[in-house]
Structure formats: structure tokens, C-alpha cells
């Protein structure tokens, strides 16, 4: 009996982990696991936002391949689908939103629990379609926004936070995910299993759990979050104006959420270990989070280090502590899972992170990350195939152990020496012209490959996958 448990955390930037050198003790549990397992200190996401990054985590493909997508398409095979073909029991406990099963994320999972109710999920997806909902027709959201603008606070958040403080729920959403996951594991004790939990904290807005705030702080925290998030979808670099004090307060709130999620993971792993024998854990973030280092608050469109650098720990039987400092990509997760479980590698691209030689070769070539502006109104609820790219805003980055190169199709290039300038503050593309040119050629070859890439699904597997797709994800009854 073998199991892999993939624990992913929203917006988790690597340099806020205590075991990665952060001055605050944000991660007491992860610090312990880091001492035990393999720690990859230079892990890059393929994308600065959730759907792009998970598309690579589950398919090993790049999000901008053949025009771009934000969820597994009919042409792709996912890690969960392969493991199910191999007879594994599969379950996912994820938030809704961009990881909604309605967009195809449930593929390969027998159980796919999204913490948002399906009804509101459908409404959310519908909202991004051209047809207008009743709320949109009567401009109810705009009415609320007017209120928000006058008070300089999100009235919805304020009501929710006060209510939650006065009458807190017995369990937070994240605690419920843990409880359900443990229930599912208990139900399938003697089976091979693949379990994925995605924790939504510490995504903005940053609202710490009740024990970290007093009643009198709620209004201030809501106001600060409103200021930080205002016009988030439309803003450009430099649009956000926050004082140093405000920025530090926001970072402290973000760190408190990391402490909370670290506690949840510690508790979960301890409980699972008391249940199960041969269990592997992969713990990572889907991308990082900006705090104005390059004028960006949050994530979404840029590829600077604070936005794509995330921690990665692999734990399990026969794994001894190691620190891998070479750059690696989150798109290497599928082949790493196959390697942990001794399963024949399905036709996924990339490498297994357990193969030291391949890790070094890949680092020498460079790790590619991609970004694009999303076009939400192209969401198709039926197909889950979404083209979210705007060719004008596409950008690529390539990271090696020494260099980081950012390429925009229409615009300036940037080159940073990661050894001397890990925070990417001095662009040396004009000084190191030859190096910049070499990276430019690599990116152009990558774009060419992406535009002409063929379907990675093996025809022999197709019928099996189609059968899996016909089965609906089930809900778990506690």
C-alpha cells in the first residue's frame, strides 16, 4: 500500500519560510519537516497565478501551450487520471473559484470537494459569461461598491469579519478540509491513494484567524485590505500607493496566515502518520506573492522572484534529508510522483526531481515560467476549456542557478544576476548582451515549440481517460 499526499498552499513565497531563512518563526511545523525530507530551495512555478500553475502541476505542460488554457483540456491527461488508471483511490479537497470542478479540475478524482457550494460556483462561472445574471442586470454589485467607496472598506468583508468574531464557526473551511481528508483516508486505509489538498490561505485579503485579532482591530484590518485590493484586476505596476507602515502591517497579516496554515499541515501530517505506513508528502505553494518589491502587490501578471519562487519539501519513507539548491520547476511534480510510486512514467514532459543528474541538467538549461493577462469573459462552463491569453501581454522568464531573464514579446527585456542580486534589482541586460541574447534565443525556441506542440495524450490511453471523464466526482458524506 502506497500513498502520495500533495499539499499545496496559496501564494506561499519561499523567503517567508523560517527554514528558508526568514527572520520570523512563521513555520515551526514545516521547519521540522524540512529537516527530515528533501528541500528544494529554488523551486519556481510555471505561472504567477493559480490556474496556470496548477495546469502545470497536474499535466507537466506549460500554461501558454497552444494559445493558453486555465484548466485541463480534452487533449491533456492529468496526474490524477493516470493514478486512477493505475488503480489508486483519488480525492481532492480544494477551494472553488479558479479550481472549480466545473472547469475540469475534477478530472481523475473520484472525490472532488470544493469548499464553495456548487450553486454559488455555477453563479460565479456564469458571471463571467456574456449573459447577465439578475444581480448584474439590477447592478446590485455596483450599489455595494458605491457603499464601499464611500466608507473606504469592503462592507461585505466587514460584516463577515464582525459576524465571524462574535459567533465563530466551530471549524474554519481549512480545518474542515483536513477533517474530510482524514475521514476519506480512514475509509480507504488498505488502498493505494492519491490525495490533494489546496489551502486557500494566505491568499489576499489577509484576515487572520480569531486568536490573532481583537474586536477593535477588525475595522482597521478591513480598511487596509480594501486599500490593498482596490482595482486589483485592472491595475498596473506602480498603481498601488501604501505607506511603509501599511505595507508592514499587511506583511504581518500575511505571515499570520502562514502560521495558521503551517499549524494545519503539522496537525494533518501527524495524524496521517499515525494511520498510514508508506505515505509520501509533497508540500509546496502554487506561486509566491509580491509586496511592492517590483511595484506589485499580490500576484497575477509578473514573473519576478517574489512571485514565482515557492518552497518545496518531499517527505516519506526511505527519503533522507537533503537540500537541493539547483532551480527546479513545479511542472516536474507528475514525473516525481510516478518515480516515488514506482509507476511507469506516462508521457509527461519534464523530469523526476529525485534524479539528481536530470535536475542539474535541467537547471543548466533553465526553468521557464509564463504569464498572460486573463480574459475572464471567455470562460466556458461546459467545456472547461478557456483561452485566457492576450498576446499583447504575454511574457516569459527563464531562471538558471545564476541568471534570471524576462522576455516580453513587445517590450523591454530584463536580465538579473541571481548570485549577486537575488532580489532582482539591477537589470544587466544592456551590459551582459551576449548572455541576454542566448536567453532570448532559448525563449524564442520555447515559444515556437509551444505554438506547434502536439497532443501529449497517448491514443491507447484515450479510451480509459474518456471512461474516467464520464464518471462524475462524488461528494463525501461525513
Shortest reach from residue 44's CB to Zn ion, in Å: 14
Measuring CA to CA, which residue among 201, 197, 196, 195 is closest to residue 172?
A: 201
Cβ proximity to Zn ion: between 50 and 56 the closer is 50
Q: Kindly state whether residue 370 participates in binding Zn ion, applying the rule CB under 5 A.
A: no
Residue whose C-beta lies closest to Zn ion: 50
Nearer to Zn ion (CB atom), residue 121 or residue 414 = 121
Stretch that binds Zn ion, among 14-22, 286-294, 345-353, 393-401 (CB under 5 A): 286-294
| Residues 228, 230, 236, 239, CA torsion sign | negative
Give residue for cell 476549456: 385
- If the CB atoms of residues 157 and 286 are measured against Zn ion, the closer one turns out to be 286
Which of 81, 174, 255, 286: binder of Zn ion (CB under 5 A)? 286
Does 69 sit near Zn ion (CB under 5 A)? Answer: no
10 or 414: whose CB is closer to Zn ion? 10
Task: CB nearer to Zn ion: give 38 or 265.
Answer: 265
Q: How far is the CB of 99 from Zn ion (least distance, A)?
A: 9
Q: How far apart are CA 250 and CA 112, in angstroms?
A: 33
Q: Which residue has the cell 519513507?
A: 317
Instruction: Return d(Cα 326, Cα 362) in angstroms, integer.
Output: 9
Q: Is residue 204 part of the contact set for Zn ion (CB under 5 A)?
A: no
Least Cβ distance, residue 190 to Zn ion (angstroms): 34
Least gap, CB of 408 to Zn ion (angstroms): 22
Q: Provide long-range contacts, Cβ within 8 A and 24+ apart, for 411-419.
A: 413/440, 415/439, 418/305
Provide, rounded to whole angstroms, the least separation between the CB of residue 433 and Zn ion. Answer: 35
Nearer to Zn ion, 198 or 446 (CB): 198
436-331-261 Cα angle (round to 5)? 110
Shorter beta-carbon distance to Zn ion: residue 50 or 389: 50
- Cell 464611500, located at residue: 150
Rg (CA), the chain: 22
Length of the chain: 478
Residue 98 C-beta: closest distance to Zn ion, Å: 8
Contact 11, 288 (CB under 8 A): yes
CB of 25 vs Zn ion, minimal distance in Å: 24
CA–CA gap between residue 400 and residue 44 (Å, rounded): 10
Residue in 264, 321, 260 with CA at minimum distance from that of residue 34: 321
Within 9-38, the residues that bind Zn ion by CB under 5 A are 10
Size of the site for Zn ion (CB under 5 A): 3
Does 450 participate in binding Zn ion (rule CB under 5 A)?
Answer: no
Phi (first) and psi of residue 402, to 5 degrees: -100, -35
**Inter-residue contact 286 to 10 (CB < 8 Å):** yes
Task: Name 139's Cβ contacts closer than 8 Å, sequence gap at least 6.
Answer: none
Say how far apart CA 470 and CA 413 lie, in whole Å. Answer: 45
**With respect to Zn ion, which residue has the nearer C-beta, 10 or 302?**
10
Which of 48-56, 114-122, 257-265, 451-459 is the region at the interface with Zn ion (rule: CB under 5 A)? 48-56
Cβ at position 201, least distance to Zn ion in Å: 11
Binding part of the chain for Zn ion, among 38-46, 129-137, 265-273, 282-290 by CB under 5 A, reads: 282-290
Map the footprint of Zn ion across residues 212-271, applying CB under 5 A: none
Q: Answer whether the bond into residue 202 is a cis peptide, omega within 30°.
A: yes
Rank residues 41 and 50 by Cβ distance to Zn ion and give the closer one: 50
Contact between 302 and Zn ion by CB under 5 A: the answer reads no
Q: Cell numbers for 316, please give them.
A: 516519506
| Shortest Å distance, C-beta 290 to Zn ion | 13
Q: How far is the CB of 306 from Zn ion (least distance, A)?
A: 14
Q: Which stretch binds Zn ion (CB under 5 A): 242-250, 257-265, 280-288, 435-443?
A: 280-288
In whole angstroms, what is the distance from residue 27 CA to residue 248 CA? 19
Q: Are 283 and 30 in contact (CB under 8 A)?
A: yes
Does residue number 47 form part of the binding site for Zn ion (CB under 5 A)?
no
Please report whether residue 50 would count as binding Zn ion according to CB under 5 A: yes
Query: Strand ranges (DSSP E) for 232-321?
Result: 278-285, 290-291, 297-298, 309-315
Binding of Zn ion by 374 (CB under 5 A): no
From 6-14, 63-71, 77-85, 177-185, give the range in contact with Zn ion by CB under 5 A. 6-14
DSSP type of residue 330: G
Residues contributing to the site for Zn ion (CB under 5 A) = 10, 50, 286
Amino acid at each position: 500500500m502506497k500513498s502520495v499526499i500533495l499539499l499545496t498552499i496559496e501564494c506561499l513565497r519561499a523567503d517567508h519560510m523560517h527554514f528558508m531563512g526568514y527572520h520570523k518563526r512563521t513555520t515551526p511545523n514545516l521547519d521540522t519537516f524540512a529537516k527530515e525530507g528533501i528541500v528544494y530551495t529554488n523551486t519556481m512555478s510555471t505561472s504567477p497565478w493559480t490556474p496556470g500553475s496548477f495546469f502545470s502541476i497536474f499535466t507537466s505542460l506549460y500554461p501558454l501551450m497552444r494559445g493558453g488554457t486555465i484548466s485541463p483540456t480534452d487533449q491533456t491527461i492529468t496526474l490524477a487520471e493516470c493514478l486512477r488508471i493505475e488503480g489508486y483511490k483519488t480525492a481532492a479537497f480544494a477551494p472553488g473559484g479558479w479550481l472549480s470542478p466545473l472547469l475540469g479540475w475534477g478530472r481523475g478524482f473520484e472525490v472532488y470537494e470544493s469548499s464553495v457550494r456548487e450553486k454559488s460556483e455555477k453563479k460565479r462561472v456564469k458571471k463571467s459569461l456574456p449573459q447577465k445574471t439578475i444581480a448584474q442586470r439590477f447592478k446590485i454589485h455596483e450599489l455595494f461598491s458605491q457603499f464601499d467607496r464611500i466608507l473606504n472598506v469592503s462592507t461585505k468583508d466587514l460584516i463577515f469579519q464582525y459576524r465571524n468574531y462574535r459567533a465563530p464557526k466551530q471549524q474554519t473551511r481549512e480545518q474542515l478540509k483536513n477533517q474530510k481528508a482524514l475521514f476519506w483516508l480512514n475509509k480507504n486505509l488498505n488502498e493505494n491513494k492519491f490525495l490533494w489538498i489546496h489551502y486557500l490561505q494566505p491568499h489576499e485579503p489577509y484576515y487572520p484567524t480569531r486568536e490573532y485579532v481583537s474586536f477593535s482591530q477588525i475595522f482597521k484590518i478591513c480598511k487596509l485590505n480594501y486599500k490593498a485590493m482596490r482595482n486589483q484586476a485592472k491595475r498596473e505596476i506602480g498603481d498601488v500607493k501604501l505607506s511603509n507602515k501599511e505595507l508592514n502591517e499587511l506583511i504581518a497579516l500575511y505571515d499570520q496566515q502562514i502560521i495558521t496554515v503551517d499549524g494545519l499541515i503539522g496537525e494533518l501530517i501527524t495524524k496521517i502518520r499515525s494511520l498510514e505506513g508508506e505515505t509520501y508528502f509533497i508540500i509546496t505553494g502554487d506561486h509566491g506573492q509580491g509586496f511592492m518589491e517590483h511595484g506589485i502587490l499580490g500576484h497575477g501578471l509578473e514573473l519576478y522572484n517574489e512571485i514565482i519562487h515557492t518552497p518545496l519539501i518531499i517527505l516519506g519513507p526511505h527519503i533522507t534529508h537533503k537540500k537541493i539548491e539547483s532551480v527546479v520547476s513545479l511542472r516536474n511534480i507528475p514525473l516525481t510522483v510516478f518515480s516515488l510510486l514506482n509507476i511507469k512514467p506516462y508521457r509527461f514532459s519534464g523530469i523526476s526531481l529525485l534524479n539528481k543528474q536530470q535536475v542539474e541538467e535541467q537547471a543548466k538549461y533553465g526553468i521557464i515560467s509564463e504569464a498572460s493577462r486573463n480574459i475572464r469573459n471567455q470562460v466556458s462552463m461546459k467545456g472547461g476549456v478557456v483561452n485566457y491569453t492576450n498576446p499583447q501581454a504575454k511574457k516569459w522568464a527563464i531562471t538558471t542557478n545564476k541568471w534570471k531573464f524576462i522576455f516580453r514579446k513587445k517590450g523591454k527585456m530584463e536580465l538579473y544576476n541571481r548570485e549577486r542580486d537575488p532580489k532582482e534589482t539591477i537589470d544587466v541586460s544592456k551590459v551582459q548582451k551576449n548572455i541576454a541574447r542566448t536567453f532570448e534565443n532559448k525563449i524564442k525556441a520555447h515559444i515556437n515549440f509551444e505554438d506547434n506542440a502536439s497532443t501529449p495524450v497517448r491514443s491507447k490511453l484515450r479510451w480509459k481517460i474518456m471512461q474516467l471523464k464520464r464518471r462524475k466526482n462524488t461528494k463525501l458524506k461525513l
